[in-house]
Amino acid sequence: MKISARNQLKGTVKMIKKGPVNTEVVITLQGGAEVVSVITTHSAENLKLAEGKPVYAVMKATEVLIGID
């Protein structure tokens, strides 16, 4: 797989919460950190996501926001 996004994190699907429209996917990265993504249920089904499956979390953003209290 070749893509232009530079922020690619390899991990394993830990948990899937499937809904009628959206699916929440929890990915465990090396070292134990987790990334959570919400994608369409249609996309989750097309990717045949399942717990334990190796995946990549790919982030593509034009800005990063920072906030303080």
Residue recorded with tokens 């429209």: 21
- Could you tell me the pTM of the whole model? 0.84
Each residue's pLDDT expressed in tens, for the chain with a length of 69 residues: 788 888 899 999 999 999 999 999 999 999 999 999 999 999 999 999 999 999 999 988 777 777 888
Q: 3-class SS at 4?
A: coil
Domain map of the chain by residue range? 7-59
* CATH ID of 7-59, from 2.40.37.10, 2.40.50.140, 1.10.10.10, 2.40.50.100: 2.40.50.100
Q: Measured at the alpha carbon of residue 61, what is the angle toward residues 40 and 22, in degrees to the nearest 5?
A: 10
The rounded distance, in Å, linking the Cα atoms of 34 and 13 is: 10
